[in-house]
């Protein structure tokens, strides 16, 4: 081996300076077509469990994003995430209800926002998710609780115009607080 | 996400965040392999040790939602982190895992990230990151994309 070759090997690192940009529109189109054809073939062979695994990871990442970036709106994100969680794993929602020992009616009322989830329901959800995510990836125990509380806070802030004036009338300071 | 200090084996938590306008002034070609200013109108992310500002690695990407795919345009560790004498290990793994998370969050089971490196370094990505090869394009799809996220994404 010559000195120059040796030097090249030492200086070359496959993770330093990787240029992967397409050089032309044509090159990009050709690569897109070839890659898509190969992917579609591979997708046909992906086992159902792997699809569910990917959907659950997607759900987890979307939950994390929601918790990181506060959205003060009146949408019911907790129940949307819950609905998506249940429908990803079960064919029938009643099967999930049975697995966490609640009635299908109770579950339906929570998903349709006709009933508040009680603490026991969230705790059951926490334990259920812990078991489900064992085969998916890390899932912090606190996630569902955080979602629920985050939503409560969001609802409260989003409806400040409704409750603010009434509550402000009921609150006064009997002692003047000064610095 | 963590990187490991090669000399001591100590691990350090890292943050990956978007490159801001002020960063481009310090992104010299001699240290980061490219003129990153060319990517100013693209989506570019930097990796730093938590609580610090020195940039250890960079990645620029293009989202292609019609194909449920994110294409990696440019990728590089900083000059001190290349070769046998590198300071930190796992910089590129974390950057790819970060992009993989964006892809899975957006496209779920259809998620794909792609890379088109020179053929001389393709084997490295196939071996180390379990990328598949189609023609000259490397890609990461389900289930390998999930395994990569799980390998690098820890709190």
pLDDT number for residue B12: 96
What does the block give as tokens for B65? 């939602």
What is the rounded distance in angstroms from the CA atom of residue B93 to the CA atom of residue B125? Answer: 10
Beta partners for residue B72, in sequence order: B61
Q: Chain B residues with CB inside 8 Å of A51's CB? A: 109, 142
**Angle between helices A77-89 and A48-68 in degrees, nearest 10:** 170
Q: Chain B residues with CB inside 8 Å of A42's CB? A: 132, 141
What is the rounded distance in angstroms from the CA atom of residue A146 to the CA atom of residue A14? Answer: 41
Q: Any chain B CB within 8 A of the CB of A156?
A: no
- Encode pLDDT of A97-145 as tens digits: 999 999 999 999 999 999 999 899 999 999 999 999 998 999 999 999 9
- If phi over 0 gives left and psi between -120 and 50 gives alpha, with beta otherwise, what is residue A21? beta
Neighbours of A116 (CB within 10 A): 10
**pLDDT tier, A86 (very low <50, low <70, confident <90, very high otherwise):** very high
CA closest to B93 among chain A residues: A15
pTM for this prediction: 0.89
Q: Measuring CA to CA, which residue among B53, B54, B72 is closest to residue B62?
A: B72
Rounded mean pLDDT, A69-81:
82
| pLDDT lower than 70: segments of chain B | none
- Encode pLDDT of B75-103 as tens digits: 999 999 999 899 999 999 999 999 999 99
ipTM of the complex: 0.93
What does the block give as tokens for B28? 């010299």
- Percent of chain A residues past pLDDT 90, beyond the cut: 70
What is the rounded distance in angstroms from the CA atom of residue A167 to the CA atom of residue A19? Answer: 60
A136 CA: distance to closest CA in chain B (Å): 8
pLDDT number for residue A176: 73
**Under an 8 A CB cutoff, do B77 and A20 touch?**
no
Query: Prior bond to B97 cis, omega within 30?
Result: no
Q: Chain A residues with CB inside 8 Å of B121's CB? A: 14, 18
**pLDDT tier, A71 (very low <50, low <70, confident <90, very high otherwise):** confident
CA closest to B121 among chain A residues: A14
């Amino acid at each position: 081996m010559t000195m120059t070759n040796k030097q090249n090997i030492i200086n070359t690192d496959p993770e330093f300076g990787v240029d992967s940009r397409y050089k032309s529109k044509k090159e990009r189109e050709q690569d897109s077509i070839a890659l898509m054809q190969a992917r579609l073939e591979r997708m046909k062979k992906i086992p159902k469990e792997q699809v569910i695994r990917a959907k659950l990871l997607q759900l987890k990442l979307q939950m994390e994003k929601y918790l990181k970036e506060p959205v003060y709106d009146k949408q019911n994100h907790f129940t949307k995430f819950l609905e998506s969680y249940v429908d990803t794993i079960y064919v029938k929602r009643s099967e999930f209800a049975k697995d966490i020992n609640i009635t299908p009616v109770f579950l339906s009322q929570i998903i349709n926002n006709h009933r508040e989830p009680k603490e026991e329901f969230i705790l059951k959800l926490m334990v259920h998710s812990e078991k489900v995510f064992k085969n998916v990836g890390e899932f912090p125990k606190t996630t569902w609780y955080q979602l629920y509380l985050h939503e409560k806070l969001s609802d409260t802030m989003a409806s400040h115009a409704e409750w603010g004036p009434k509550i402000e009338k009921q609150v006064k300071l009997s002692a003047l607080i000064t610095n | 996400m963590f990187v490991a200090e090669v000399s001591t084996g100590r691990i350090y938590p890292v943050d990956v965040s978007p490159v801001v306008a002020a960063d481009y002034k310090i992104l010299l070609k001699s240290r980061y392999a490219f003129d990153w200013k060319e990517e100013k109108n693209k989506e570019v992310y930097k990796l730093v040790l938590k609580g610090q500002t020195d940039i250890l690695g960079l990645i620029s990407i293009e989202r292609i939602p019609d194909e449920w795919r994110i294409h990696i345009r440019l990728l590089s560790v900083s000059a001190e982190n290349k070769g046998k004498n590198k300071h930190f290990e796992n910089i590129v793994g974390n950057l790819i895992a970060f992009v993989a998370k964006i892809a899975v969050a957006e496209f779920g089971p259809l998620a794909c990230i792609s890379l088109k490196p020179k053929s001389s370094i393709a084997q490295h990505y196939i071996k180390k990151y379990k990328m598949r090869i189609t023609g000259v394009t490397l890609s990461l799809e389900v289930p390998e994309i999930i395994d990569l996220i799980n390998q690098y994404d820890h709190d």
